[in-house]
Amino acid sequence: MNIALIAHDKKKNDIVNFSKAYQVILSQHQLFATGTTGLRLQQEANLTVHRFQSGPLGGDQQIGSMIAQNKMDLVLFFRDPFTAQPHEPDITALIRLCDVYAVPLATNMGTAEVLIKGLERGDFSWREIIKESE
């Protein structure tokens, strides 16, 4: 599966800890991330990650482009609900595209836990069927 990992600055420690905890599961998939999140995951969670631009420089849009091509199977986006982001329109667009393409999206750690356990259990196999039918 192709999995996107994204975190705003105040949530970066959370996504690093989450990724360490689920390193064994995540490492079995193709991982993509916005720039700074991806760097921390490479350095601190020992994961191989394809890094896009940093979020404010277009990284959310690059991940959105993969969603629009139906190439992303799961998005884990640890959002900071307390800090205004200069690229808020990009964030809104990314979330909207998840809804357009019915891509499972977690915007907080609680949902991410549920989705990653579903991933481990094989709940995402329907994504392969959708991709094969295209």
Ligand X SMILES: O=C(CO)COP(=O)(O)O
Q: Where does this chain bind ligand X (CB under 6 A)?
A: 6, 8, 34-37, 54-56, 59-60, 91
Catalytic residue among 60, 73, 80, 90: 60
Q: Which residues are annotated as a binding site for substrate?
A: 8, 12, 34-37, 54-55, 87
- Alpha-carbon distance of 21 to 30, in angstroms, equals 17
Q: What end-to-end distance do the CA atoms of the chain give, in Å?
A: 16
Helix 109-121 / helix 12-21 crossing angle, nearest 10 deg? 20
Cβ nearer to ligand X, comparing 63 with 129: 63
Cβ nearer to ligand X, comparing 35 with 71: 35
Q: State in angstroms the smallest separation of the CB of 81 from ligand X.
A: 13
- List, in sequence order, the alpha helices (H) in 22-58: 23-26, 35-44
Q: State in angstroms the smallest separation of the CB of 52 from ligand X.
A: 8
Cβ nearer to ligand X, comparing 10 with 131: 10
Q: What does the DSSP assignment read for 13-32?
A: HHHHHHHHHTHHHHTTSEEE
Known catalytic membership, residue 60: yes
- Alpha-carbon distance of 78 to 89, in angstroms, equals 16
Q: Which residues are annotated as a binding site?
A: 8, 12, 34-37, 54-55, 87
